[in-house]
Amino acid sequence: MARTAKQKTSSKKAQPPLGNKERPPEPKRYKASKEELLDFYKQMLLIRRFEERAGQLYGLGLIGGFCHLYIGQEAVAVGLQSAMTVGKDSVITGYRDHGHMLAYGIDPKVIMAELTGREAGISRGKGGSMHMFSVEHGFYGGHGIVGAQVSLGTGLAFKHKYADDGGVNLAYFGDGAANQGQVYESFNMAELWNLPIIYAIENNHYAMGTSVERSASEPDFYKRGESFQIPGIQVDGMDVLAVRGAAEVALEWTRSGKGPIILELKTYRYRGHSMSDPAKYRTREEVDSYKKEKDPIERIKAELEKAGVAEEELKATDKEIKDIMVEAAKFAEETPEPDPSELYTDVLVEEY
């Protein structure tokens, strides 16, 4: 029998003690203006269409190596990063990173060109899907080693504190990564040193083919910081307004010097783990129920309709996004590959 993502959930409201430590307030769903709603819609749609196009280019053999799509999880990156300040704060994530880059305003053309391994790509075509980087935007990757970004992100938070630059690090990781030892070493140091970091656990219910039910003794990931006195909040990661509301609380907490905080974003990925995963470990009904009942783009669309945004305006946005994607894909297919001599640059060779 296929084991699905039905998780045992311990009584959510019974919060265990955090010593004498204060707790963050309960987040409220963000009250967005019409313009903000439209912007959330646009950004999530851009990620969705980008990922669909990446899937097609992969199928055509234009993208090599691994490729992990973010479809279904769009509200997480958009909701969190919309509250952050590019150039002041920093972001780090794993290999499912295209959406996080797009949500930080990085040009889809240079992201797509990285996927197709072109010179104009954001890592000059040498990183590919999993290893994208932009210091300019404060985006520190793009990491293929599961969990590594948690300790690296903690280091980035240390830098923010050391330089006293007012920045906060946002370190994303998955439900699978949350079981790694280095995560807890990082939690310990972050709390001890009062580092400005938001640990964002994207609980999409699966780590490759392994469900949370099979792998997590404590399936409520927001509680994972308790023995380190780090507070945690569980958030509906399929609702961009709930995510943004939680981001406000987390940012207020970290910026005011109260140290690290954990956000558990309950979300779902519609596609397999990577392009080579047929996802046989879950039922079609399970996937369909998320698409039908929780889709983050459909939900924001409903909010837009409530706010009186006309159908034509949404159609115009859809067309705008479509055009951006056509242009990005064309660019990624036509722009040249790196010169073969590039094989010998950016390579670290040292003797110890």
Q: Residue 307: CB partners within 8 Å, gap ≥ 6?
A: 34, 37
The answer to the question of residue 174 lying near ligand TPP (CB under 6 A) is yes
Q: Residue 349: CB partners within 8 Å, gap ≥ 6?
A: none
Tell me how crowded residue 148 is: count the other CB atoms within 10 A of its CB. Answer: 17
Q: What is the DSSP string of 262-281?
A: EEEEE---SS-SSTT---TT
Span from 40-48, 201-209, 231-239, 281-289 in contact with ligand TPP (CB under 6 A): 201-209
The answer to the question of residue 53 lying near ligand TPP (CB under 6 A) is no
Q: What is the rounded CA–CA span in Å between residue 309 and residue 290?
A: 25
Residue of closest CB approach to ligand TPP:
174
Tell me 15's DSSP state. Answer: P
Q: What is the rounded CA–CA span in Å between residue 290 and residue 287?
A: 6
Instruction: Check: CB of residue 40 under 8 Å from CB of residue 78.
Output: yes
Q: Which residue in 144, 196, 219, 231 binds ligand TPP (CB under 6 A)?
A: 144
- Among 322, 226, 216, CA closest to 18: 226
Closest separation in Å from C-beta 200 to Mg ion: 12
Closest separation in Å from C-beta 167 to ligand TPP: 25
Between residue 302 and residue 341, which ones bind Mg ion under the rule CB under 5 A? none
x-or-dash pattern for ligand TPP, window 289-328, by CB under 6 A? ----------------------------------------
The answer to the question of residue 246 lying near ligand TPP (CB under 6 A) is no
- Among 196, 242, 231, CA closest to 27: 242
Q: Which residue in 175, 220, 239, 295 binds Mg ion (CB under 5 A)?
A: 175
x-or-dash pattern for Mg ion, window 14-53, by CB under 5 A? ----------------------------------------
Q: Which residue in 208, 310, 316, 343 binds ligand TPP (CB under 6 A)?
A: 208
- Which does residue 232 touch among ligand TPP, Mg ion, none (CB within 5 to 8 A, set by kind)? none
Closer to ligand TPP by CB, 175 or 236: give it.
175
Q: How far is CA 17 from the centre of its chain?
A: 29
The answer to the question of residue 204 lying near Mg ion (CB under 5 A) is yes
Q: Residue 244: CB partners within 8 Å, gap ≥ 6?
A: 30, 32, 40, 79, 80, 82, 83
Interface residues with ligand TPP (CB under 6 A) are 96, 144-146, 173-177, 202, 204, 206-208, 273
